[in-house]
Amino acid sequence: MNNITIIPLFVIIPLAAAFLTSLVGKFIKRSSETIIFISSLALFAFSLYARFLLNSAAGKIMVYKIGGWMPPFGICMVLDGLSCFMLITVNLIAFFVAVYSLSYMEQYTDKPKFFTLFSLMVCGMNGLIITGDLFNLFVFLEIASIASYALVAFGTEAEELEASFKYAIMGSVASAFIFIGIAFLYSFASTLNMADMARVLSNKQNEWVIPFVGVLFLMGFGLKSALVPFHAWLPDAHPAAPASISAMLSGVLIKTLGVYSLIRIFFNIIGATQGYLAVLMFLGAISMIAGVVLALSQWDFKRLLAYHSISQIGYVILGIGLGTPLGILGGLFHLFNHSVFKSLLFLNSGAVDYATGTRDLKETGGLGKLMPVTAKTNLVASMSIAGIPPFNGFFSKAIIIIACLEKGNFGYAICAVIGSILTLASFMKVQKFAFLGEIKDKFKNIKEVPFTMLFPMVCLAVICIFGGLMLIPSFRFFLDDAVAVILKGTSYASVVLEAAAK
Amino acid sequence: MRNNPETGMTLIVKTITRLTVGLILLFGIYIILHGHLSPGGGFAGGVIVALSFVHLMLAFGKDVAVARISKNMASNLESIGAMMFLLVALLGFLGGSFFLNILAKGNPFNLFSAGTIILSNISIGIKVGVGLFAIFLALVVLEKSK
Amino acid sequence: MILYFLCLMLFCVGLYGVLRKRNIVKMIIGLGIMEYAMNLFFVLIGYRFHGRAPIDAKDQNIFNMVDPLPQALVLTSIVIGLAITALVISIAIRIYEKYGTFDITKIKRLKG
Amino acid sequence: MELHILLIFMIFAAIVAIEVKDLLSSVIAVGAVGFALCLAFLVLKAPDLAITQLVVEILCLIILIRATINKDLPLVIEGRWIFNTLSTLGFIAVFLLFSWLALKELPRFGEPIMEVVKKYLQEGVSKTGAVNIVTAVILDFRAYDTLGEATVLFTSVIGIMAILRRPGRKKKNEK
């Protein structure tokens, strides 16, 4: 057993948890809760430990060869700065959401099935992040997607089924585009390993193949990450799911399936040219503005949050599309921050729903006095998402805007500022109608939600407040290593292949 | 041809089914076990096994098939099959690596060759066979419970 | 070349069905056709003229076989397609039960 | 040549399946596409896939017919707006045009590069002991993919059972 054995554990633990939960969950009471709690805690601990191991690894990269086959022949798992960053984000949110679900899911029947699907979704995301093989990425993307289709429909009410159907159809079309793209790449390069493919592609002349494949992947992963021309499923699917799942979907799923895969393929395999970056920036800016404008007119708490997810993903893509070190740093930092505060907001909306039974902002009001913890954490999250200093959202947005100015893209910088102001406006509405003002008669006797739901909200709010500290030099390695991987571009190939040869 | 899920189809269909369903099941098992020697394998064989149960159910009605394998049992068996495959994968850790094929490879062209491949095929076969049957059962039972 | 193109045309027929049909079952069928087309496309890529099926025989040498890797990948992809189709059908059955129709224009509780 | 005929047949059957008014006929037509695909796999020297496709197709057809039989079969009147149809067709035309350009640069049909695969063919039998190279690939060289595949099916079974269960929510005990 050496250090490297930690890598496959990120897939084995959630998979074993899922199988066990579905096997014993029905017979032994509360066993599924215990299994999921232990497994998600273990995953979170292991992801931090992996970060610790990575610091001491040579070249800051670890490669695990499955079945002992050398990379172009077998499948390998790669743990580098970027995947470690994503692993920590995913498992952090997954742990808190799992704790929250312990009480929240009491409203629904058949908890063991919920936890099985939840665990499979985490397994799919972890597998996607650590894999080093293009087809394997597709397989794990499908695991995470199918689990999320089923989870969106978990309440089996008419709206949920309809949203899930829409999501499943659009998601499957996206997968089909991705699959065709992989087929083109396989035919052209005759290999599936990502590092090997990057090596082959950089030595091969072509005119149309790579741009065409790029467009296919942009459509596929753009659909998965809900960039604006492809966003139609998100405002239905995210509100329909149970609140804890909305937090997972908005918080990490669209980022892992969409943004991470897009970054990995465009920067590390195909090699990002100015053309791709310009397209990414344009889509990011459009999403940023369109999402927030659509959000302004919403009265359903969760639907409003869902539109804000589109807008915030726009910031992430804009930052990464800039292609400068500062822009990528801002984009990744915003990705992490958005995971934290958007999950927190969805958990808040779930708490409001749990206590009052409604999500309509016109009906609620004055909840601040009866649910003090929910109201305060929601205030923190709202200020974060609107970019008020000193919360974490301010720092990442500021970095993105500065990076825009630095590169001379004043138009995009102004877009980002306008988006931020509109975000503030729409969250002031949430504060006013949900938590301030007069309380309605029928909600006089509601109580604060149970402890297991409060604990994750408080923890996430604390991360929101102190998230800005990640920028001080002694903690920055967490972000800097991820940025370094992206900036390395297609020389990713030689790094991975060398590490594998050892 | 009335297709009534409670009582099944006519006598002719039932008689033919009684003759063929065992053969179909046997063929599925053959395909699973010979996955490393001939076309087929755990997945195709598993679907054939599932189809033999579906066949039984369409001909004789729901109750006869459910008497042989119920929905709960199907879903438990599926979890067990999945666990088995994961265990085969974990077995590789004994030799040092996830999914390492550690058993003796044997002579090619023999039934007992290819190390862990045959174990993987069997576990996938169980998993797929009962899993797909569980899907079918869930869909049909639901329709009748209205 | 012509074969690849015909295969992508089949893909587009399925895509048209998914995007333009207003009946849930028709959309599922369109999805199925897309899955057939993409599987066929991948296998076409691995075909080799005068190749043999990738199964060893005792007396023949093993060269000039068709590419086995796409076949292995497509096997996975067929399973994924089956899984998605079954899931979507089960959602469709529940939707039918709630609304009594497969027509998507009548199923409009959600506003886009 | 037989592949061309099969593909053209598949395209026609697919168009029939999409356009025909009756749902049951549509399901039967899609079955025809599936069985033609099975034949195409045989022509392409992929017997494993042909077997799998055949049995999967049968199962899919049974499930689809189960889902559609006795359900609203009459005409489906579509809200067919000319603009939407034209834009969809336009998108498809652009897609096909660019795919034509990209396909020209791929290796020609029948002559794959087979860079990595050479090793599978040469050492597959001696290293894994499996005579069927496809099985050797899916259960030894790329067994991790197969774990993923089994998990996909498992996810789908659990998901279907979760969706079909009833009731979905516990009754709220009103305060």
**Cβ within 8 Å, pair B139-C90:** yes
Number of CB pairs < 8 Å for A and D?
146
Please check whether residue A111 touches D, CB under 8 A: no
Residue D161's nearest CA partner among A14, B63, B130 is B130
CA distance D153 to B81: 12
Instruction: Please give the torsion angle defined by the CA atoms of residues A69, A70, A71 and A72, in that order, rounded to the nearest 10 degrees.
Output: -100
**Closest residue of D to C26, CA-based?**
D18
| pLDDT tens, position by position, A474-492 | 778 888 888 888 888 888 8
Residues of chain C scoring pLDDT < 50? 111-112
**Closest residue of D to C70, CA-based?**
D134
CB count in 10 Å sphere of residue A28: 12
**Cβ within 8 Å, pair B54-D157:** no
Lowest mean pLDDT among B58-62, B100-104, D56-60, D155-159: B100-104
Q: Contact at 8 Å (CB) between B136 and B50?
A: yes
Run of H or E including A403? helix A392-407
Please check whether residue D64 touches C, CB under 8 A: yes
- Residue that the structure tokens 């008497």 belong to: B67
Write down the pLDDT at residue A175.
92
CA distance D129 to A435: 67
* Chain A environment of D115 (Cβ under 8 Å): 189-191, 200
In a domain, residue D164? The reply is no
Distance from CA of residue A255 to its chain's centroid? 3
3 state SS for A335-346: HHHHHHHHHHHH
CA distance A196 to A139: 19
Q: Contact at 8 Å (CB) between A284 and A317?
A: yes
Phi and psi, residue A363, nearest 5°? -90, -25
- Residue that the structure tokens 């989870």 belong to: A151
Whether pLDDT at A368 is above 80? no
How close does chain A come to B9, measured CA to CA in Å?
Answer: 33
**Closest residue of A to D141, CA-based?**
A74
* Chain A environment of B90 (Cβ under 8 Å): 12
| pLDDT tens, position by position, A174-192 | 999 999 999 988 888 888 8
**Closest residue of A to D142, CA-based?**
A74
**Cβ within 8 Å, pair C88-A165:** yes
* Chain B environment of C83 (Cβ under 8 Å): none
| pLDDT tens, position by position, A48-86 | 888 888 888 777 888 888 877 777 788 888 888 888 889
Write down the pLDDT at residue A147.
92
Write down the pLDDT at residue C111.
44
Instruction: Please give the torsion angle defined by the CA atoms of residues A372, A373, A374 and A380, in that order, rounded to the nearest 10 degrees.
Output: 110
Please check whether residue D150 touches A, CB under 8 A: no
Looking at the DSSP assignment, which residues form a beta bridge with residue A79?
A62
Give ipTM to 2 decimals: 0.91
Question: For D141, which DSSP code?
Answer: I
How many angstroms separate the first and last alpha carbons of chain D? Answer: 73
How many angstroms separate the first and last alpha carbons of chain A? Answer: 17
Write down the pLDDT at residue A124.
92
Stronger pLDDT, A68 or A136, i.e. the higher one: A136
3 state SS for A88-129: HHHHHHHHHHHHHHHHHHHHECCHHHHHHHHHHHHHHHHHHH
Residue C73's nearest CA partner among C32, C45, C103 is C45
Distance from CA of residue C94 to its chain's centroid? 23
Question: Closest to C10 (Cβ–Cβ): which among D7, D34, D104?
Answer: D7
Question: Closest to D128 (Cβ–Cβ): which among B105, B132, B142?
Answer: B105
- What pairing do the DSSP bridges indicate for beta strands A76-79 and A62-65? antiparallel
- Interface of A to C at Cβ within 8 Å reads 135, 139, 142, 146, 149-150, 153, 156, 158-159, 161-166, 168-169, 172-173, 175-176, 179-180, 183, 186-187, 192, 232, 235-236
Confidence of residue D71 (pLDDT cuts 50, 70, 90): low
Write down the pLDDT at residue B1.
39
CB count in 10 Å sphere of residue A41: 14
Packing angle of the helix pair B71-95, D143-164 (nearest 10 deg): 160
How close does chain D come to C60, measured CA to CA in Å?
Answer: 12
Q: Contact at 8 Å (CB) between A81 and A260?
A: no
Domain count, chain B: 1
Q: Contact at 8 Å (CB) between A152 and A246?
A: no
Show the tokens assigned to B21.
Answer: 């369903």
Q: Contact at 8 Å (CB) between C81 and D157?
A: no
Q: How many CA atoms lie within 13 A of B127 on its CB side?
A: 31
In a domain, residue A73? The reply is no
SS3 A232: coil
Show the tokens assigned to A422.
Answer: 């509109």
**Cβ within 8 Å, pair C90-B43:** no
Handedness of CA D40, A73, A255, A456 (dihedral sign): positive
Write down the pLDDT at residue D60.
86
Q: Contact at 8 Å (CB) between A384 and A337?
A: yes
Q: Contact at 8 Å (CB) between A132 and D144?
A: no
CA distance B89 to A77: 15
Whether pLDDT at A198 is above 70? yes
Q: Contact at 8 Å (CB) between A89 and A335?
A: yes
CA distance B24 to A311: 55
CA distance A265 to A271: 8
Q: Contact at 8 Å (CB) between A481 and A81?
A: yes
Q: How many CA atoms lie within 13 A of A463 on its CB side?
A: 18
How close does chain B come to A64, measured CA to CA in Å?
Answer: 9
Write down the pLDDT at residue B142.
61
Tell me the helix, strand and coil percentages in chain A, rounded to 5: 80, 5, 15
- pTM of the shown model: 0.92
- Residue that the structure tokens 């990738």 belong to: C54
| pLDDT tens, position by position, B131-143 | 888 888 877 766 5
Stronger pLDDT, B141 or B125, i.e. the higher one: B125
Domain count, chain A: 1
| pLDDT tens, position by position, A334-364 | 999 999 988 998 988 888 888 887 777 777 7
Write down the pLDDT at residue A465.
87
CA distance D150 to B89: 12
- Residue that the structure tokens 């017997």 belong to: D47
CA distance C54 to D51: 15
**Cβ within 8 Å, pair B75-A22:** yes
Given a contact as 3+ CB pairs under 8 Å, which chains touch D? A, B, C
- Residue that the structure tokens 């005579």 belong to: D131
Confidence of residue D94 (pLDDT cuts 50, 70, 90): very high
Task: Determine whether A393 is exposed, middle or buried from the number of CB atoms within 10 Å of its CB (0-12, 13-18, 19+).
Answer: buried
Given a contact as 3+ CB pairs under 8 Å, which chains touch C? A, B, D
In a domain, residue B91? The reply is yes
Write down the pLDDT at residue C106.
65
| pLDDT tens, position by position, A444-473 | 777 777 888 888 889 989 988 888 888 888
Over range A249-272, report the average pLDDT.
Answer: 87
Please check whether residue B143 touches C, CB under 8 A: yes
Over range A381-385, report the average pLDDT.
Answer: 87
Q: Contact at 8 Å (CB) between A42 and A223?
A: no
CA distance C43 to A133: 19
List Cα–Cα distances, A429 to A207, A423, A424, A440, in angstroms: 51, 10, 9, 17
What residue numbers bound the domain in which A360 lies?
Answer: 291-471
- Residue that the structure tokens 């065709």 belong to: A180
How many residues belong to chain C? 112
Question: Closest to D15 (Cβ–Cβ): which among C8, C13, C89?
Answer: C13
- Residue that the structure tokens 């592609």 belong to: A201
* Chain C environment of A192 (Cβ under 8 Å): 69
Please check whether residue D82 touches C, CB under 8 A: no
How close does chain D come to C39, measured CA to CA in Å?
Answer: 9
Write down the pLDDT at residue A41.
92
Whether pLDDT at A387 is above 70? yes
**Cβ within 8 Å, pair B72-A66:** no
Domain count, chain D: 1
**Closest residue of C to B36, CA-based?**
C55
Confidence of residue A95 (pLDDT cuts 50, 70, 90): very high
CA distance B102 to B33: 19
Please check whether residue D59 touches C, CB under 8 A: yes
Contacts of A233 (CB under 8 A, 6+ apart): A163, A166, A167, A170, A171, A223, A226
- Interface of D to B at Cβ within 8 Å reads 47-48, 50-52, 55-56, 58-59, 62-63, 66-67, 125, 127-132, 134-136, 138-140, 143-144, 146-147, 149-151, 153-154, 156-157, 160-161, 164
Q: What is the mean pLDDT of chain A?
A: 86
Given a contact as 3+ CB pairs under 8 Å, which chains touch B? A, C, D
CA distance A178 to A316: 22
Confidence of residue A139 (pLDDT cuts 50, 70, 90): very high
Write down the pLDDT at residue B7.
63
CA distance D168 to C67: 47
Please check whether residue A75 touches D, CB under 8 A: yes
In a domain, residue B70? The reply is yes
Show the tokens assigned to A167.
Answer: 């999501």
Restricting to C residues 67-96, those with a Cβ less than 8 Å away from any Cβ of A are 69-70, 73, 76-77, 80, 83-84, 87-88, 91-92, 94-95
Whether pLDDT at A43 is above 70? yes
Question: For A389, which DSSP code?
Answer: T
Show the tokens assigned to A453.
Answer: 């739901």
